[in-house]
Amino acid sequence: MAMTSVREKIEQAVAQTLADLGAANVPFAVERPADMLHGDYSTNAALVVAKLLKKNPKDVAQEIADKLTVQGVKTIDIAGPGFINFTLAGNAVKDIVHEAHETSWGSNNARQGQKIMVEYTDPNPFKEFHIGHLMSNAIGESIARLFEAGGADVKRANYQGDVGLHVAKTIWAVKNKKVAGADWGAAYVAGNTAYETDEVAKKEIQEINVKVYDRTDDAINALYDEGRESSLAHFEEIYKKLGTKFDEYFFESQTWKKGLGLVQNNIGQVFEASDGAVIYRGEQDGLHTRVFINAAGLPTYEAKDLGLLALKAEKGEFDVSVTVTASEQTEYFKVVLAAAKHIDEVQAIAERTQHVSHGMMRFADGKMSSRTGNVVTGESLLADLTEAARGREDVAVGAIKYTVLKSASSKDIVFDPEKSLSLDGDSGPYLQYALVRTRSLLRKAAEAQVVDPQPAGAMPVERLIVHFPEVVEYAATELEPHYVTTYLTELASAFNSWYAQERLIVDGAITTRSIAVLKAIENTLAQGLKVLGIPTPEEM
C-alpha cells in the first residue's frame, strides 16, 4: 500500500492553512522547483492568495510558513516573489530511498481498479511495417505501461486493415507476378503504382477488392489467406523485438459490417444521404463533413472505425480508451468521435476515448532510404541500428524508443542516424549504461565488507529519487511518456556525477548508505526504463 507521500502531506497542510486564513479551495500547486537549491518542494500558494487577501505576497508567505509544520520537512523558507520552499529532513529522504528499493510495478496504486484500453501500432497486413508504426508502438506501449505502473488493468489493442483497396493492390501485383515470390511489402508498392498509372490494372484491382470482401473467388481467397497469415506472423516477430504483447486484435474484416449497420440504422438522425453517399455533417461540431458510406455502398474507414468502437465496447466497460495514431488523422478522428457520440451503441466508449496523435519521423539528411536504397521501414531501421550497436538489439531498441519518447508526442521527430548510431549524449544507451553500472557495482558490493559511518546530508541523486512516483503519475495523466524520459536522464546524470566524484568501494569496503542509494537508483532506473519500454540490460 502506498503511504501518504511527503508531497501529499505538504499539499494537505498548505490547504488547511489557506482555509484558516479564509482562502479555502483556492487552487495552488506543490511542485518540484526547477533548481534543487530552492528545496525539494515548492508552492505558489502565497502568490495565488495574496491578491485575494489584498496583502503583500511575501507577508502572506511568511504568515503561511509560520503556521505550517509538515512531518518529514526540515526547513520551510520564503524566497523569490513569495514562494514557500520545503526542504526534506535527511531521515525522510533516507526512508524514501529505502522504499525505492522495493518500488515495483503497480505499487503506486493511483489507478488501482481502473480498466483501460490502449490501441496502437495498427500496421496493415499486405503492407510494410513502416517508421510511423514504430513511433505509434513506442508511444502506445509506454502509455499502456504508465497506466499499469499505477495499478490499472490495461488491455493492449491492435487494429489492422486486412480488407480494402491496399489489399487488392497487393494481391493484384502478386497474382500478376509483378514481384518475385510473395514479397508483400514490395507487391503493395507495385500494385499502388499500377493503380495510379494503368487504367486496366485499376479496374482489375477494383474487381479484386470486391472479391476480397465477398470471398467468392477461390484463387483470390488462397492468395489472400496466405498473404494475411504471412504478414501477421511477420508482425508478431517485430512486436516481440519491441517488447509488445497485444491482448486484442481487431480487423477491418470484422469492423466493416458492424460499422455499415450502425451508419445505416442512423440515416436521418445522425447521418444524411448526399450525392449517393452517406455523410456526417461535422460543421455542427465545428468540424468538417466526412463520408461514411461511399456511393458504391461500401463503408469507408469512418464507418469501420464506428464498428471498431462497437467491438471495443463489447470487450467491457473501460474508464479510459486511448487511441494512438499519426497526427494526420487528428481531424478525421474528431469527426468520427463526434458522430459516435450520437449513436447509442458506441456513445459511452466514444465519450471516454482519448486520441493521442504523434508527429512524423523525418531523417536529418532528408533521405528516406536505407543503405540498400530501399525506403526505410521500421524493420530496416531496427536492423541497421542493431548492426551499428555491435549486434545488441536491446541497445538498438533503446536508442529508437528514447528518440521517440524524449519529446512531446505531437511533435515531428528528426532522426539522425549518425547521432543515434554513435550512441552518445542523452540517449537510450546512456540510460542503459547507467543502469548497467549500478548493477555491476551492486555485484561487487555483495562481496565487499560493509561499513557504517555517519551519513552525510542527502545528495542530489537521492533527492531526485524522491520524485519518481510523481513523475510517472503526471506522465500518465498527461499521456506523455517524455516526462519520464527527461526525469530518467536527469537521474542517470546525477548518478554518473556521484560515481565520478566519489569512489564507492574503497579497499574492499562499501558503506551501508552507498549500497542503499545504489539499490534505489538501480531500481528506479529499471522501473523507469520499463515504463518507457526500453530494455534493461545486465551488461554492456
Partner RNA sequence: GCCCUCGUAGCUCAAUGGAUAGAGCCGCGGACUUCUAAGCCGCUGAUGUAAGUUCGAUUCUUACCGAGGGCACCA
Which of 274, 284, 449, 512 is in the footprint of RNA by CB under 7 A?
Answer: 274
Name 436's Cβ contacts closer than 8 Å, sequence gap at least 6: 537, 538, 539, 540
Which of 15, 26, 38, 193 is in the footprint of RNA by CB under 7 A?
Answer: 38
CB of 98 to RNA, least distance (A): 21
CB of 126 to RNA, least distance (A): 11
Whichever of 452 and 539 has its CB closer to RNA, that residue is 539
CB of 236 to RNA, least distance (A): 20
Stretch that binds RNA, among 65-73, 104-112, 220-228, 321-329 (CB under 7 A): 321-329
For residues 329 and 295, what is the distance between their CA atoms, to the nearest angstrom? 23
CA end-to-end span of the chain: 35
Contact set for RNA, span 348-377 (CB under 7 A): 359-360, 364
Contact string (CB under 7 A) for RNA, positions 178-217, x = contact: ----------------------------------------
DSSP SS3 for 357: strand
Interface with RNA, residue 290, by CB under 7 A? yes
Per DSSP (E only), the strands in 211-297 are 248-251, 272-274, 277-280, 290-293
Interface with RNA, residue 449, by CB under 7 A? no
Whichever of 282 and 533 has its CB closer to RNA, that residue is 282
List the one residue out of 157, 219, 231, 168 whose CA is nearest residue 195: 168
- CB of 82 closer than 8 Å to CB of 60: yes
List the one residue out of 140, 106, 354 whose CA is nearest residue 239: 140
For residues 215 and 219, what is the distance between their CA atoms, to the nearest angstrom? 10
Interface with RNA, residue 522, by CB under 7 A? no
Contact set for RNA, span 14-33 (CB under 7 A): 29, 31-33
Contact string (CB under 7 A) for RNA, positions 63-102, x = contact: ----------------xxxxx-x-----------------
Interface with RNA, residue 313, by CB under 7 A? no
Whichever of 66 and 502 has its CB closer to RNA, that residue is 502
Stretch that binds RNA, among 67-75, 179-187, 374-382, 416-424 (CB under 7 A): 416-424
Whichever of 156 and 439 has its CB closer to RNA, that residue is 439
Contact set for RNA, span 129-158 (CB under 7 A): none
Whichever of 281 and 315 has its CB closer to RNA, that residue is 281
Whichever of 154 and 432 has its CB closer to RNA, that residue is 432
Question: What are 79's strand-pairing partners?
Answer: 83
Which of 91, 289, 369, 449 is in the footprint of RNA by CB under 7 A?
Answer: 289
DSSP SS3 for 445: helix
Whichever of 19 and 364 has its CB closer to RNA, that residue is 364
Which of 36, 408, 451, 509 is in the footprint of RNA by CB under 7 A?
Answer: 408
Contact set for RNA, span 450-509 (CB under 7 A): 470-471, 474, 482-483, 486, 489, 493, 496-497, 499-505
Listed as own residue / partner, the contacts of 42-48 with beta carbons closer than 8 Å and 24 or more positions apart are 42/83, 42/84, 42/85, 42/86, 43/10, 43/14, 43/83, 43/84, 43/86, 44/82, 44/83, 45/14, 45/17, 45/18, 45/84, 46/78, 46/82, 46/83, 46/84, 47/81, 47/82, 47/83
Beta pairing, strands 353-358 & 361-363: unpaired
Whichever of 392 and 513 has its CB closer to RNA, that residue is 392
For residues 371 and 380, what is the distance between their CA atoms, to the nearest angstrom? 9
Per DSSP (E only), the strands in 382-536 are 413-415, 449-451, 509-511
